[in-house]
Structure 1
Amino acid sequence: MDHRIVRSTVRVRGFHLDGYAHVNNARYLEFLEEGRWAYFEQQFDLAALFNEGLAVVTVNLNINYRRAAVIHDELEVLTSLSHIDQRNAVMHQVINRVSDGKLIADADFTFVVLDTRTKRSIRIEDKLRNVLEPLVLEC
């Protein structure tokens, strides 16, 4: 697997389910967030970014629900950086069922980098761009 893709896993538990016995749509947000945290932990140091007074902030999230996941399914979340421009970046995520490789959901997560002191987004340039650009994997 390409080093620019980070894989994390989650096992579907009973509390993830809705009244129809499949994963509640809102739970996919949590699964995707777990994937993004795993990505940030592996690819660059969010704590260092925060210590510089910067934060990654969600501005848009689009999810396509492809098929239902059910109790005891093991899911893999594949996360990659798919686009970067001057003001924002996009992460592409895919959730597959491990047992058969079936696509469960896919999503695009758009974020900006926020200056926590001014509460305004900043341009993605210089040192930060140099860290992010080599991670881009166009999907």
Structure 2
Amino acid sequence: MARNKHWDIDVPFYIDIEVVEDHIDRLEHVNNGVYLSFMEQAAWQHTEALGLSWADYRELDAACVVHRHELDYLAPAVLGERLQVATWITENDHRLAMWRAFQIRRTNDGHTIFRGRTQYVCIRLSNGRPRRMPQLFVDAYRPAVAAGG
């Protein structure tokens, strides 16, 4: 069994997305920039599933913002395809930064078409400056265990 037909961790959080006309570029596949939107949707839904809401972020005067993306486009997605966009936390220094992984698979054959990693840093919402992660973030954003790990 090929690794690309499986998730990179045992039980990831994922959302389902259907590729629609707005996702397609002149090359007749999902535009590279649209993958960032898919990642953001999955990250926010995962955050909410972990028990954190935008209201919590505002009350804590804290948020995690993107510092760096690492993206690997492995195969194109086309109009009408159904995708599963998975995400999980891979690292958290419990102070300022954490890394979140992403994996996108086609639903029909399980083939992985995209992998990415994003580093987030914690900021104070009121001024945009870096700040130490609130304990609620440390507790919620715990690293997942890799498949077979």
Unaligned runs of 5+ in 2: 1-9
Per-residue deviation, residues 75-120 of structure 1 (Å, max 9, x unmatched): 0001100100132000001000000011111110110111123422
SS at match of 2:25: coil
Residue pairs, 1:1-139, within 5 angstroms: 2=11, 5-46=12-53, 47-85=55-93, 86-124=95-133, 126-133=135-142, 136-139=143-146
More strand by share: 1
2:62–2:133 CA contact under 8 A, matched in 1:
no
1: CA distance, partners of 2:41 / 2:139: 25
1: CA distance, partners of 2:136 / 2:83: 34
TM-score by structure 1 length?
Answer: 0.88
2: CA distance, partners of 1:21 / 1:106: 21
RMSD: 1.6
1:83–1:138 CA contact under 8 A, matched in 2:
no
Unaligned runs of 5+ in 1: none
Cα offset for 1:14? 1.4
Length, aligned pairs only: 135
TM-score by structure 2 length?
Answer: 0.83
